[in-house]
Amino acid sequence: MTIKAIRGFRDVLPEEARTWARVEAIAARVLRTHGYQEIRLPVLEKTELFARSIGESTDIVEKEMFTFPDRHGELLTLRPEATAGMVRAVLENNLVEGGRPLKLFFLGPMFRYERPQKGRQRQFHQLDVEAFNDPSPQMDAEIIVLLAHFLNEVGLDRLTVHVNSLGCAECRPAFRRALESFLRGVRGDLCPDCQRRLETNPVRVIDCKVPRCGELVQDAPWTVDFLCPDCRRHFDGLLQALRQAGVTPALDRRLVRGLDYYTRTIFEVLHGELGSQNAVAGGGRYDDLARSLGGPDIPATGFALGLERLVMLLGRQGHPAPEGPRLYVAALDEAAVEKCFGLVQELRRRGFTVETDYMAGSLKSRLKRADKLGALRVLIVGPDEIARGEAVLRDMATKEQVVLPWAGAIENLAELLDKGDGS
């Protein structure tokens, strides 16, 4: 029996990987223009980090983490998201000493033990973008505008940006009390999970996926009606900044997000074609997280984008074709294979994309292969060419052929071929 991949863990095959590479290159460029630096973080962290940041009574921590003890019994978890690890790294490495703003991004695999379905895997990848030490609504707006700009650059449209404000430690208790009293009134109709959530984390009831719970919370109180004056000003500032940047968000009063660390701004970018797993990206502000992990006050805001979902949407328009080699070397017998080996390696060393095969084959089969690869030119070397001290260079588009003397062939080819990268 052959061994298969683990459920919810998938291979990204070469065709799809070309879209990944394109998306990653655009992300790196857009993030650079907005002043974000890359950081790379470990895949494993102490379980406690996620429990304390994402929240003990969230779905992620309660039932979706890949957690296991190491050889000494310490509980470790494969990161289910990047924000907690990012804050841990910022604190541990003193990256915001002196209260300077710091803008970081990170791309890598995350792990959640969810039921796999379209757009939902157990290993998935996030582009995670975080801005530290800037409490302004403009920084929240920058993060959202950056995300919209990136999605536009990769060629994704029909997106909506949903925003909401959760308020802060000042105004949230009043909202929570109102929500609790509303939920107690409908308690008997809530699903068993939500009856439990009502005691542990009532806000989670608002985004319960059970349809009946969804209907019941239609009449629940809204966070925006409980905002203190500072949070109200912050939210208005965000909406104004977004308008200035040409982003029209949908105010989504039901949006609460599935992680506990948020304060004030939260948002999601949704795409209609994704079905129930319709968020391409989500994020928000988390001004209290650094302190709750034992650090100083570090206001922060950010988002994470699910790369599988993005690539799935882009893949509907087709993945980019591979770029063909500039030259295919057709060695027609074993002696030609031996003779051409050095030439191929030297041209590659000089930066040309060159392909060949080390198994001799007929001219017809080699030309077919060159055509399939999309090679622009073919260098033909067989017993006749070797005897004459020559090689034949064929242009695949015009089918024109020229004879090159073998001596000096590398220099001749280096002049004739184009590297294809603009150099």
State which residue, 143 or 183, has the beta carbon closest to ligand HAM.
Answer: 143
Shortest Å distance, C-beta 285 to ligand HAM: 8
Shortest Å distance, C-beta 218 to ligand HAM: 22
Write the DSSP assignment of 28-96 as a string of letters: HHHHHHTT-EE----SEEEHHHHHHHH-TTSHHHHH--EEEE-TTS-EEEE-S-SHHHHHHHHHHTTTT
State which residue, 20 or 303, has the beta carbon closest to ligand HAM.
Answer: 303
Region for 160 from its dihedrals, namely left if φ exceeds 0, alpha if ψ lies in -120 to 50, beta otherwise: beta
State which residue, 299 or 302, has the beta carbon closest to ligand HAM.
Answer: 302
State which residue, 62 or 308, has the beta carbon closest to ligand HAM.
Answer: 308
Residue 152: C-alpha distances to residues 107, 128, 309, 350 (Å): 19, 17, 15, 36
Shortest Å distance, C-beta 120 to ligand HAM: 4
Shortest Å distance, C-beta 317 to ligand HAM: 19
State which residue, 111 or 352, has the beta carbon closest to ligand HAM.
Answer: 111
Q: Where are the alpha helices (DSSP H) in 79-206?
A: 83-92, 137-154, 172-186, 192-200, 203-206
What's the start-to-end Cα distance of the chain, in Å?
50
CB 399 within 8 Å of CB 329: no
CB 61 within 8 Å of CB 45: no
State whether residue 109 is helix, strand or coil: strand
CB 298 within 8 Å of CB 132: yes
State which residue, 117 or 152, has the beta carbon closest to ligand HAM.
Answer: 117
The span from the CA of 151 to the CA of 22, in Å, is 12
Shortest Å distance, C-beta 266 to ligand HAM: 8
State which residue, 69 or 275, has the beta carbon closest to ligand HAM.
Answer: 275
Q: Are strands 159-165 and 250-251 parallel, antiparallel or unpaired?
A: parallel
Shortest Å distance, C-beta 345 to ligand HAM: 41
State which residue, 121 or 223, has the beta carbon closest to ligand HAM.
Answer: 121
- Output Rg (C-alpha) for the chain, integer angstroms: 28
The span from the CA of 319 to the CA of 312, in Å, is 10
Q: Buried b / exposed e across 292-321, counting CB within 10 Å, b at 16+?
A: ebebeebbbbbbbbbbbbbbbbbeeeebee
Name the one residue in this structure whose structure tokens are 């209260």.
99
The span from the CA of 20 to the CA of 307, in Å, is 8
Q: How many CB atoms lie within 10 A of CB 259?
A: 24
Shortest Å distance, C-beta 82 to ligand HAM: 6
State which residue, 114 or 180, has the beta carbon closest to ligand HAM.
Answer: 114
State which residue, 60 or 183, has the beta carbon closest to ligand HAM.
Answer: 60
Q: Taking CB positions, which residue lies at the least distance from ligand HAM?
A: 306
Shortest Å distance, C-beta 303 to ligand HAM: 5
Shortest Å distance, C-beta 214 to ligand HAM: 18
Q: Which residues bind ligand HAM (CB under 6 A)?
A: 81-83, 112, 114, 120-121, 124, 126, 128, 130, 258-259, 279-284, 302-304, 306, 308-309
Shortest Å distance, C-beta 43 to ligand HAM: 15
Q: How many CB atoms lie within 10 A of CB 158?
A: 9
Shortest Å distance, C-beta 268 to ligand HAM: 7
State which residue, 81 or 142, has the beta carbon closest to ligand HAM.
Answer: 81
CB 162 within 8 Å of CB 267: yes
